[in-house]
Chains A and B, each alone.
Chain A
């Protein structure tokens, strides 16, 4: 079974240690290897990207390393892919850069 790592028991997101396929059950562990739960990603999650372990309401804190890494900019469901599309920094926002390629 594929794995995602929670850095602290306080976290509400985990980091994918492999590419996670949509709907395929994964195992969520702490750094101690203790298995916390199993859940199925609602979308594919690339290696190194984050998945929500529990639901996070719009405006609520997103926690990784036991610390706040930003706030949800929309409601996040358990198993959702968590990234720039649904989390905003509380400190500094990245601008739209001028050398971004045309989509």
Chain B
């Protein structure tokens, strides 16, 4: 199977051709937005943990800049950040794509920064927006799978259909990654039995065990399931997890990608199925998956969801026939046909695969058509990691 994508330096393939304006902290976000406004293919992102956000956020922004969907990057900094634009920019530039950076303080304030930024971005756009799609094998695809706003239809229909898709993609030589560290609590055994080797098996238990520690600190009132989960019929984290892992398919688990202050591990070449450490919260998880190299995400929802991601287009799948009926303007794939008995899990998995090759070749998802470009990042607090004695 083939798709049409954009070749990047180093041999990776993008499914979108984004001109990214990256404000390294939220203080420079307004200027970044002004720069991107009115320039085709450009939009601005930032992160909201301040200008000394720690290495995990830096790793994510660098990885996002390196993502093959991004054609070129302009970083915007105030100038006095702990995590400066030039430092991130130099790291992203190693990917070989056009990368520039500006400092608002150095340029003398808003007007000068916006003028200079627009100049740079216009030059960049001349360079990259003329790039043409070429044919590539689906083995060049890395697809993230994620669920959110789950109800029990996710475990019965949406996630099994995505699992069938993951098997088709992995068998075709592509790669799939799943990030559900909390939503694997109670589902360790079925995952561990699929580990490629003993080292992977140990990493699976450690990743899930560490996340369980973070979300069950004695004395801290932390929710790890949403109200919609419980109203949708999910009783315990074990039930939610056992449903969530259905979207991982049945092939061997080739590895657990580290995601810590130390390292944000990329998806290796060669395809197969991987788990990635991170968070269960959707837009943030998608930023992590983008940073690891995913070009697309499949998002399974029972309750429904109306959002998108700035870097990775995502295909929304619902296993709940009523949700599809009510929100068909937002749901790309109806897997509710499994619940109603009209279609098999395998048949929906094949439909998802077909849709993935179309979206990879440029077909906009419903979320993209609606103009959704969410971007947020997640960080673990190094102080909590230290207090909980979680080591890498």
Contacts and interface: CB of A to CB of B under 8 A. Distances in A.
B187 A91 contact: no
A70 to B, nearest CB: 4
Given A82-B235, A84-B230, A91 B186 contact: yes
B221 interface: yes
Main secondary structure of the interface of A (DSSP, over half): loop
A97 B236 CA distance: 16
B236 A70 contact: yes
B233 A89 contact: no
A20 to B, nearest CB: 12
Contacts of A5: 156
B238 A15 contact: no
Interface string B217-241: 0000111110100101101111100
B185 A95 contact: no
Given A84-B235, A97-B223, A91 B212 contact: yes
A15 B339 CA distance: 11
B221 A95 contact: yes
Interface residues of A, number: 33
B223 A69 contact: no
B322 interface: yes
A95 B223 contact: yes
B212 A48 contact: no
B115 interface: no
B232 A48 contact: yes
Interface of B: 151-153, 155-156, 185-187, 189-190, 212, 215-216, 221-225, 227, 230, 232-233, 235-239, 242-243, 302, 320, 322, 339, 341
Given A7-B155, A65-B242, A91-B216, 8 more contacts: A15-B233, A48-B152, A48-B153, A65-B243, A69-B239, A90-B238, A91-B212, A91-B236
12 contacts: A49-B152, A50-B233, A65-B243, A67-B190, A67-B242, A69-B236, A70-B238, A83-B233, A87-B236, A91-B237, A92-B185, A92-B237
